[in-house]
Every structure is written in C-alpha cells, then in structure tokens.
C-alpha cells in the first residue's frame, strides 16, 4: 500500500454504527438534511441516509459503479446518472389537508413520477417467509484514511484535515469536474446542479470545533452510534474497532480505509418447519455479510455471540456494556457538549457558522 496515498493526520475522527440497534427511523438522515442540504440544487442530496439491506441502495446499484483502489491502483469509476439518484419530490399535502375535501382527495406525488430515491426498496429485504430478513445500513462519507476523492481532484479542492482527519473541500477551487464522484467507490459526493460544484458530508466540523457531536450522531434516538477519535484508547470507538474488532468498515476491498464502522447484525435464528429456532443457521447468510464487511466479519460475529452468551449466563462483559450504552455522554467523548447550550451564528445560507458565545 502506497504511503503517499495515506494522509498522515494527528488524530482520526471516526464513528461506529450498531446495525443491531439501528431501527431505520431516518432521524439521522433528517437531522443532516435539515441542517445542511435545504438549499436550491440540493433537493436530491442526502449526505446521510439509511438504506435497507439487502437492497440496491442510493444511488441505485452504487456498489457496481467502481472507484477506489485495487492493489493500490486507482480504479475507474463512473458518475451516477440523475435518474439513479432519484429526485426530490413533493406531495399534494395542501389539497388533502387544507382544502376541506380530505374524504375525496388522496395523497399523490406532484409533477413527474419518481423512479428511484433514497431507500426506495425500504424493508423489502430477501429470503423466504418465515425466514425472510432485512436490516438497516446508515451511510455517509467515510472520511477515508486513503480518500480516493482527494487524489482524484486535479485542483486540490479536496483535502484531509490534519488535526482530525475530516475530508473537506474548498469550494472556491472546485470547477465541477466531478472526478471526486467518479473516484469515490461509496458514491458519497453530490453534484450541486445549481451551483455547479461538488458537495459532501463535512462531518459537521463547525460542531466538532465546539466539541458537539455531528447532527446525525447526536440525533439518533436508538443510541446506535458512537463517535470519537479512533486513536483514543480509552474511547468506545477505539475499543469497538481496535480492541474487540467487532466494528468493521463497509467494503474494505475498495481500499480507501473508511472511518465509518459497523457492528454486523445478528438477527433471530432461522425457524424450522416445526416453528423451532434452528440455532445453527443464521437468518442473514454469513456469506452476504462477508460480501459487505469482508472476511473478518466471521470473527466479529463469533465475538459478539460469545460475549452475549456470557452476559446471559451472568458474566460481565466490557463489550456488551459498551454496546448497551448506559450513559449517552460516554458515547461521544470528547464531543459531548450539549448543542443547546451554544448560541450559533448563521451564515447567509442559513447554516451554522461560528459560535458567538
Ligand atoms: Fe472521499 Fe468517498 Fe472516502 Fe468520502 S467516502 S472520503 S467522498 S472516497
């Protein structure tokens, strides 16, 4: 692996999602949407969104669009077409709710009928009843250690911030070439068709600078996401990723070294024809999880199962205590400042800027 492609940062901000706790409520998606992507040209942008798996994701079939590296060689990638993102659309709420004709009118999409959108295949999943299955996968920019988007930009508009490893963009340098989007194997760059520049998740850096966790993290009602520095050996992110090795990157074979990690899902065991649980058969095929999280998922699942069994029989487990997350402040240190206690200035675009006191 080429050292020159790996950005040397003092620390690396990282997050862990527990796919056993994520309930697909999309609170993280909406928290991000309302904070960052409400302007013209951003209608279709969901910097953070939760996909149902198995599914085709967002943009549609993004896993087949290329990018990233193979044996440290940059791989060709393609841009998703507009129809593969799906657009933003609106409903006839006014007609149904305010016209006094609610008995006759029903909700429908206004204008052109959409063909795809974020989480279009929600909860369809796979498998056959009663052993069908699905789970949720929150997705955002991975703020990769080896960010293909940064290397692909000929203008140096994308960079990795030294103090915390966030991948940022200098919009004044962007000319809208979209090479970053082609190179990103996760397709987590969005072209703003109005401003004609690329945009992406900035990990809520104005919040981080005030020790406030990102809005997607802070908004999660399921305590399903941890945030902190990967290098902080006392923090839960380090423990889940490095110590217990139960939190894994999505598609490690893309070789960008993501800093968003996932605890793989363990669903209830399969049912036999006699409606008994068949303990030896996982409901989600391990091969499928391996296709997402790589071969280390088998050991991670074994560790999770072992620690769960130990706790059920009365034992103590640091791993289980961490995953239960008894106290929310322990999940985000040192980013546990309450955003409600900070008065934020607003930029002209209505987005949070500097803290004013
Ligand atoms: Fe760049 Fe994509 Fe990695 Fe984000 S996920 S840092 S956009 S390569």
Ligand 1 lined by 65 (C-beta under 6 Å): no
Ligand 1 lined by 138 (C-beta under 6 Å): no
Ligand 1 lined by 45 (C-beta under 6 Å): no
Say what the pTM is.
Answer: 0.92
What b/e readout covers 56-93, taking b as 16+ CB neighbours within 10 angstroms?
bbbbbebeebbbbbeeeebbebebbeeebbbeeeeeee
For the chain, the distance separating the N- and C-terminal CA atoms, rounded to the nearest angstrom, is: 45
State the Cα–Cα distance between residues 234 and 21, nearest whole angstrom: 23
Structure tokens at 140: 């955002």
Report yes or no: 57 and 63 within 8 Å, Cβ to Cβ. Answer: yes
What angle, rounded to 10 degrees, do the helices at 286-293 and 297-312 form? 120
φ, ψ at 311 (rounded to 5°): -65, -40
Ligand 1 lined by 144 (C-beta under 6 Å): yes
Strand partners, 199: 190
Ligand 1 lined by 186 (C-beta under 6 Å): yes
Query: 152: helix, coil or strand?
Result: helix
Ligand 1 lined by 67 (C-beta under 6 Å): no
C-alpha 77 – ligand 1 centre gap (Å): 13
Report yes or no: 41 and 59 within 8 Å, Cβ to Cβ. Answer: no
C-alpha 183 – ligand 1 centre gap (Å): 8
Q: Which of 77, 148, 198, 252 to mutate to test the pocket of ligand 1 (most atoms within 8 A of CB)?
A: 148
Residue closest via CA to ligand 1's atom 2 equals: 184
Using alpha carbons, select from 260, 264, 158 the residue that is nearest to residue 216.
Answer: 260
Q: Say if strands 73-74 and 69-70 run parallel, antiparallel, or are unpaired.
A: antiparallel
C-alpha 101 – ligand 1 centre gap (Å): 48
Per-residue pLDDT of the chain (357 residues), as tens digits, is 455 567 678 899 999 999 999 999 999 999 999 999 999 999 999 999 999 999 999 999 999 999 999 999 999 999 999 999 987 788 999 999 998 888 888 999 999 888 899 889 988 999 998 899 999 999 999 999 999 999 999 999 999 999 999 999 999 999 999 999 999 999 999 999 999 999 999 999 999 999 999 999 999 999 999 999 999 999 999 999 999 999 999 999 999 999 999 999 998 888 888 888 776 789 999 999 999 999 999 999 999 999 999 999 999 999 999 999 999 999 999 999 988 888 776 654 445 555 554
Beta strands in 36-121 (DSSP E): 49-53, 69-70, 73-74
């Amino acid at each position: 692996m080429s050292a020159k492609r790996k950005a040397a940062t003092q620390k690396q901000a990282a997050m862990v999602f527990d796919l056993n706790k994520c309930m697909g409520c999309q609170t993280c998606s909406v928290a991000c949407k309302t904070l960052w992507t409400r302007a013209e040209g951003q209608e279709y942008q969901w910097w953070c969104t939760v996909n149902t798996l198995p599914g085709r994701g967002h943009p549609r079939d993004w896993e087949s669009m290329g990018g990233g590296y193979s044996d440290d060689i940059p791989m060709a990638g393609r841009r998703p077409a507009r129809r593969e993102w799906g657009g933003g659309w609106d409903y006839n709420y006014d007609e149904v709710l305010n016209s006094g004709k609610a008995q006759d009118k029903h909700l429908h999409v206004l204008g052109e009928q959409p063909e795809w959108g974020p989480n279009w295949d929600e909860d369809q999943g796979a498998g056959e009843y009663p052993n069908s299955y699905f789970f949720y996968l929150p997705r955002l920019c991975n703020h990769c250690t080896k960010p293909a988007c940064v290397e692909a930009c000929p203008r140096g508009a994308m960079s990795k911030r030294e103090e915390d490893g966030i991948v940022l963009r200098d919009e004044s340098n962007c000319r809208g070439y979209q090479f970053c989007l082609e190179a990103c194997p996760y397709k987590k760059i969005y072209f703003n068709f109005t401003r004609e520049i690329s945009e992406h998740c900035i990990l809520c850096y104005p919040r981080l600078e005030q020790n406030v966790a990102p809005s997607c993290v802070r908004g999660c009602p399921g305590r399903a996401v941890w945030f902190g520095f990967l290098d902080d050996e006392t923090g839960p992110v380090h423990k889940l990723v490095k110590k217990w090795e139960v939190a894994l990157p999505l598609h490690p074979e893309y070789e960008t070294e993501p800093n968003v990690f996932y605890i793989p899902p363990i669903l209830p065991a399969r049912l036999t024809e006699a409606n008994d649980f068949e303990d030896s058969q996982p409901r989600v095929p391990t091969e499928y999880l391996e296709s997402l999280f790589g071969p280390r998922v088998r050991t991670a699942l074994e560790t999770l199962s072992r620690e769960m069994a130990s706790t059920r029989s009365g034992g103590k487990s640091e791993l289980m205590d961490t995953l239960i997350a008894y106290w929310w402040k322990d999940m985000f240190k040192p980013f546990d400042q309450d955003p409600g206690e900070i008065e934020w200035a607003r930029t002209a675009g209505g987005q949070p800027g500097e803290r004013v006191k």
